[in-house]
Structure 1
Amino acid sequence: MLYLWMPNANEQWRWSIGEQWHTAASLDELKDAVAVHQLKHVTVFFSSLHVQHAQFQLQKTHFKQLGDQGIRYLIEDQLIESVDQVRLSYVYANEKLSMMAINKSRLDVIQHSLGLVPWQVDALLPDYLMLPIPASKQVILKTWGTQFLLRQSEFQGAVIDDLDIFCEFVEDDQQVVISDADVNLYEVLSERLAPEQIVRVALPEIFLDKFKRHRFNLWQSATKEQTISPLWKACAATVCLAIGAQLIHDGVRWYKLKQVSDQTAQLMIDQYKQWFGQGYRVTEQNIKSDFEARVRLSQSADLSSMSLLSRIGPVISQQNVIAERIQYQDNILTIDLKATNSSVLESMTQQLNQQGFKAQLGNIQTVGNQVLGWIKVQ
């Protein structure tokens, strides 16, 4: 894991792989120096000058009543800017609410700057989190360039510019923990604090915490706010896929039904033309009116003729027989037929009788390679 400290103004980059810190004058120099380690992931620290902290004692019931929106306005009086202009992170534990705020514009600048680094960013944190968590009644102080990093508690820290002002706020029963290697810092504090208030220990260069899952990991929270969750993306893709599949299914089904409908209409028109000849242009729209007109031309036709014809029509179509003329009189339907041979007409007559009709086949005449005959059906 690579650890980076982002510089302020004209300061240098600092980097570490968990041991001592190194410096780089530019981003290109930093890339060259780190390249030999072949690292892919990075945890980035930025100056704690850019964050503001606050802590509140809250009962659990009160905390739940406030909700996310209510919690935002607890820190409003302590901010130097509008609460709507900051990105807020908080942790609630043991009836204590710890809050950290950073200006959204400042965070966006940091985010965009990190877009230039060739490593995958796992965490973006204020730099006081590099220090260990102090014990009760203790704070940890570390020299960092021309400034000092201060960690006051697990979720609170700062950057100190003036040690004189810092020492004025150190309580009598409070201890300041520093590195035993930081001789200059010890000498300055010794002039301002009692000896028992200064504790020298071997501080690690980096306090290796689970930074990626830290509640103040601004890279994680920013990513959540700026992008859509992968789970929601998967759900949206699944819904879109299901809708698309249903539309395709409905479209294919409509197309097939349309084909069947068109084929049925064409078969009806073709059969009608076979019965009554080509005549004039027959379509699906005028076939009904044309058929009714033809039936009215018969001597005493009525609606029963249409009913009878609709029942025997499929038999005529099945035998590939052409109806030359239809006449309905005295409840008897007489049809002049043209077929390929006499056996076809005889088979059709037999089939009609089997279906409950009274069918009688009349004289059959041979004309060329076809036969003509008539049949009476009632």
Structure 2
Amino acid sequence: MSETLYIRLASKPEQAISWLVWSTNQQEIIASGEVPDAQALTSISDKARQRQVVAIAPGSDVLLKALTVPAKSTKAMRQAVPYMLEDELAQDVDELFFAFADKVHSDSEHNCHVAIIERQLMHAWLTQLNSAGIKCRVMIPETLLMPLEGDKWSVIAHHGQLVIRQGVWQGATLDERQWQFMAQHWQQMDPVPSFVHYSPIPALPVTIECQEAPAELPLALFAAQSQRDINLLQGEFAVKTERSPAVKYWAMAASLAVVALLLQLGVKGSQWYQLNQTTAQLEQEIIDTYKQAFPNTKRVRIATIKSQLRRKVAEVSGGGAEASFLPMLAKLESAFKQVPELQTSALRYDGKRNELRLQAEASTYQAFDKFKNALEKSRLAVTQGAQNNQGNRVTGSFSIKES
């Protein structure tokens, strides 16, 4: 998708929520605004249609930790983290959700990067979005959407708070009182940190170097960052892939193909049974099978079953192209078996053009290339559409014809 809707969530449901529509291709703002509270999210549900949605979690609600965990496997490492941090956390670990980064910027000191959020707050955010009819597959802490500025810390003001990124896996969102308090601590650090700020910031009670950058809207600054180190929607909060309505169409077409195949097998099988069955019995069996598949049929003649089947296929495929549709469907099934990691999200057959249009998603770009090669080996002409990375999934499209 070339446009993305960013929604900066709020710590409390009665607080204002900012939103912005960003063009990935043009790297510019399409629209932006603010709703007064979580209930008002319904007013921007139309902006979420046909766009990827990225939710931004307030940095004040997310604790970032970089750790060195001795473990033989990733699973064992992640199981150990809550208990390693138990004494440092103010809440019981059972009340917290631990989200892990799959890959982060090179950091030789640590092998585990974790974001910690109240489990109840995660439920509340997802409930707010779902109640508004907004489907979201990606959620990122706002501090990790700030630019990395080398040795300097980046900061921007937003809704009376200051969002700060202090390093690869370090950041905070502070109110003005906390900002003033922490300045005393920062001045004691060696070396004393310096800031790059993308908006006017409150004066500090101590001398700390501040470099002014071109002013930016907070959400526009977040949207412009290509590096996304984590998706909080994982584990128990991972988004389940919904079955497309096209699956019903697929099932109907497949059922019809099975009926046609059974009829063909029945005709061929009659040669084995012909010593014990008469021609009349075989014809009656075919008629009975047809009536079982299409119970609303009142009158069936053996001489017209073939033409009637063609009409049934045409009703499903949107035209009289069954001669191309069913063989193409069989070749498509073979390709899916060869690339099981690729999943269909939409399927449409254009009977006039004898063209099958397929929307799919997978975890890697390579899956799309393997699927295209498998189709071409089946003597199909394949045109591959644009591919987009949505969090940890890749989506794309194919147009398929008989070559």
TM-score by length of 2: 0.47
Aligned mate of 1:49, from 41, 51, 60: 60
Q: What letter matches 1:82 in structure 2?
A: V
Moved more, 39-48 or 21-30: 21-30
1:67 corresponding residue in structure 2: 74
2:181 corresponding residue in structure 1: 165
1:77 corresponding residue in structure 2: 84
Aligned mate of 1:179, from 185, 197, 203: 197
1:147 corresponding residue in structure 2: 161
1:40 matched to 2:47? The reply is no
Aligned mate of 1:199, from 211, 225, 249: 211
In structure 1, runs of 5+ residues without a counterpart are 265-378
CA drift of 1:52 comes to 2.1
Sequence identity (%): 11
Helix, strand or coil at the partner of 1:69: helix
Helix, strand or coil at the partner of 2:162: strand
CA drift of 1:75 comes to 4.6
Helix, strand or coil at the partner of 1:175: coil
Q: Relative to 1, partners in 2 of residues 1:213 and 1:116: Cα closer, same or farther, differing over 3 Å?
A: farther
2:131 corresponding residue in structure 1: 116
Distance in 2 between the 1:82 and 1:15 partners? 32
Distance in 2 between the 1:8 and 1:106 partners? 8
CA drift of 1:224 comes to 7.9
CA drift of 1:204 comes to 2.9
Aligned mate of 2:240, from 205, 227, 245: 227
1:156 corresponding residue in structure 2: 170
Distance in 2 between the 1:256 and 1:157 partners? 75
Q: Relative to 1, partners in 2 of residues 1:159 and 1:3: Cα closer, same or farther, differing over 3 Å?
A: same
CA drift of 1:55 comes to 0.9
CA drift of 1:109 comes to 2.3
1:100 corresponding residue in structure 2: 115
CA drift of 1:159 comes to 2.0
CA drift of 1:12 comes to 0.8
- Which has the higher Rg, Structure 1 or Structure 2? 1
1:11 corresponding residue in structure 2: 15
Give the structure, 1 or 2, with the largest relative contact order (CA under 8 Å, sep 6 or more): 2
Cα pair 1:53 1:98 within 8 Å, conserved? yes
RMSD over aligned Cα, in angstroms? 4.9
In structure 2, runs of 5+ residues without a counterpart are 23-28, 279-403
| Aligned positions, number | 250
Q: Relative to 1, partners in 2 of residues 1:123 and 1:105: Cα closer, same or farther, differing over 3 Å?
A: same
Q: Relative to 1, partners in 2 of residues 1:153 and 1:72: Cα closer, same or farther, differing over 3 Å?
A: farther
CA drift of 1:113 comes to 1.6
Q: Relative to 1, partners in 2 of residues 1:100 and 1:130: Cα closer, same or farther, differing over 3 Å?
A: same
